[in-house]
Structure 1
């Protein structure tokens, strides 16, 4: 039998051991809290807002460009109306002068001729007065209304994309027979080819605009926020597509090469050539599109390699490269300024047919590699390491982000849309 004092001593010893254990658990928590407190002290609200302000300024700049383009288009329309009006008046003046000269030549002027001439002159004079005082047309200008929901501010939890848990498609757009597979998005609209048209779809996957495409096979397409145009690439030509009017304009300053892929920064358009030993050309975007720089093999790739895709992101270019002889594939990240290699990733892709591989930019400067030959998708992190690889349900050809939370995958039969 233990005495009461002995039992008390045992209990105290046990409590002391429990206290030691708990204190040891508390120490790392205290250290973690102190670390978080130091980080909190270093947080600068102004610096955090600067990142948001940059996005807001980008939105404002894009809006100004849209307004400027609308203004120029309307100016052109009104000028055309006035020019046609003046041209008709000049034609009428010429007709009156010829009539007078003919009456003088024939020397057979009747009262009826005089009255007819007077009437025509009065009508012309009245028409000219209206033109001179800008009364020949009416202009109804409505104030520009900005929806307060154009910029929606909500507090959100950061969600990291996990390819291994890619959701089932929530919607899709079927490819018409003969449609080309490339996609491009400006976050509001998605551009794709639906034989025989180029089509724009909104976020609800509804067709909002289309126009006939008559320029042949489409190799690639991308969006230029600076030009406020989609860039569409064929083998020999580059076209700009207006999202508002669907007008298609060929870029006359880019000729003489066979093109394969395209991508845009805020200041430049990058194009790669369709050949072994591919080169990459940089065209500066301003009032015109002019060649600024060119990188050739072996700086781009070796003579027996082909650049399948190029994608720009934050001062870098992602290159998808394939060897023609050994049929090996790799991804490289290069500086868009110096073309220095930042990292290289050898991809586990076996493809006897040596078909092209493509990639698209994800959120947080991560990448999605599209392996069409094996129906696989690779999730590549910003440091060039593979995070996940999954089999896709149908043969994937292309992919692009459609806004920040939707992934569009162009597969064999259509475009699938996944929530991220």
Structure 2
């Protein structure tokens, strides 16, 4: 009979919904296992990783114990057959949180960088090609430029994926944890890369062809800063939530002086400070620490050797790692903009990135990626 078929269809649909609910923890466990196994095999983990995995497993165990579903059967003269049986997952507040002890261990761990390890042979090394040295990192993935490609690799240095870049001139790359995407700056466009789907999408709200060329980008939470490549560089602040709105636009003399170029800009890891590198050709380079309103808190002036300026890398300890392009000297600056230490690497440095809170990746001028575990 017709009504029996409809009841069976409703029951089958409810069964599928229940199946989706009860198999969700299994999918999460597989994701955790797929991450742990290769890392264990390569012995590529530290105490922070163990704490994080234990936290995820503890949370998963708690979720399994509290999984509950409620079946609601509607009855009446006007029964809606498609929703005759409703299944929903009861939401429970998580009781697993990061303990203060674990946070303290993480804080102490990231502060124990041993920069003397840069004098040792890299733990891993990759030969790369291409004219663009830009790199960006998420928690576990490094995105770098090859010849007409964008390459994804993990902390072990194993290449995991290669994407055709379509000949894009990639000026800069940064990771947005808010969007869960890499952001890629070319001279005229801003694009996002979804690591899971490998889809590259142009962000049209920011990619305005009537503006000057983009130069650098940096993210903190839902805020994006982009700078432009010209004397008297302009800096724009964008809110990445919703429709992408420009919140502020700094021009000289606030962004920089009219004769200066902003060659690098980056948020500190906690988002409270902005590091800016400016240069005036044949005169000087400056590394500046600023507040969120672009007020200069401190600056260090270096002699100008090349027309490329300095690069900046924010460290979890609140420090900055800075270097002149194609130079062997690496300088450590504290959160207040005071020079603390100068190191000499054995090769000329092109760009740097910090992968997994402890692994410094150096792209050398002879196109090698060198992975140094600093703690």
Q: TM-score, normalised by structure 1?
A: 0.63
Give the corresponding residue for 1:407. Answer: 360
Contact 2:215/2:263, CA 8 A, preserved across alignment: yes
> Per-residue CA shift, 1:210-259, capped at 9, x if unaligned?
32111521100000000100000001100000011110000000113310
**Mapping for residues 164-243 of structure 1, pairs under 5 Å:** 164-166=116-118, 167-176=120-129, 178-243=130-195
The change in CA–CA distance for 1:386 and 1:163 in structure 2 (over 3 A counts) is farther
Shift of the alpha carbon at 1:209? 2.5
Q: Secondary structure at the match of 1:245?
A: coil
Shift of the alpha carbon at 1:161? 2.7
Count of residues paired in the alignment: 283
Give the corresponding residue for 2:68. Answer: none
RMSD over equivalenced CA pairs, Å: 2.4
Contact 1:267/1:285, CA 8 A, preserved across alignment: yes
Contact 1:262/1:272, CA 8 A, preserved across alignment: yes
The change in CA–CA distance for 1:204 and 1:302 in structure 2 (over 3 A counts) is same
- The reply to whether residue 384 of structure 1 matches residue 265 of structure 2 is no
Give the corresponding residue for 2:254. Answer: 299
Q: Secondary structure at the match of 2:24?
A: coil
Contact 1:280/1:300, CA 8 A, preserved across alignment: yes
**Mapping for residues 126-137 of structure 1, pairs under 5 Å:** none
Question: Which is richer in helix?
Answer: 1
Distance 1:372 1:253 in 2: 31
Contact 2:327/2:349, CA 8 A, preserved across alignment: no
Question: Which is richer in strand?
Answer: 2
> Per-residue CA shift, 1:348-407, capped at 9, x if unaligned?
x441x4223211011211011021243211111122121211222222111111011110
Give the corresponding residue for 2:278. Answer: 321
From 24, 27, 32, give the equivalent of 1:143: 24
Contact 1:372/1:396, CA 8 A, preserved across alignment: yes
Q: TM-score, normalised by structure 2?
A: 0.70
Distance 1:369 1:294 in 2: 26
> Per-residue CA shift, 1:243-290, capped at 9, x if unaligned?
111100000001133100000010211000000110100010102322
Q: Secondary structure at the match of 1:278?
A: coil
Distance 2:326 2:373 in 1: 24
Distance 1:152 1:319 in 2: 38
Contact 1:308/1:321, CA 8 A, preserved across alignment: yes
From 187, 195, 205, give the equivalent of 1:253: 205
Give the corresponding residue for 1:288. Answer: 243
Q: Secondary structure at the match of 2:317?
A: helix
> Per-residue CA shift, 1:81-135, capped at 9, x if unaligned?
xxxxxxxxxxxxxxxxxxxxxxxxxxxxxxxxxxxxxxxxxxxxxxxx9xx9899
Shift of the alpha carbon at 1:173? 1.8
The higher-RCO structure (CA 8 Å, 6+ apart) is 2
Distance 1:414 1:345 in 2: 29
Structure number with bigger Rg: 1
Contact 2:141/2:154, CA 8 A, preserved across alignment: yes
Contact 1:190/1:202, CA 8 A, preserved across alignment: yes
Give the corresponding residue for 2:71. Answer: none
Structure 2: 5+ residue runs without aligned partners? 1-5, 34-49, 56-101
Distance 1:204 1:378 in 2: 26
Q: Secondary structure at the match of 2:360?
A: strand
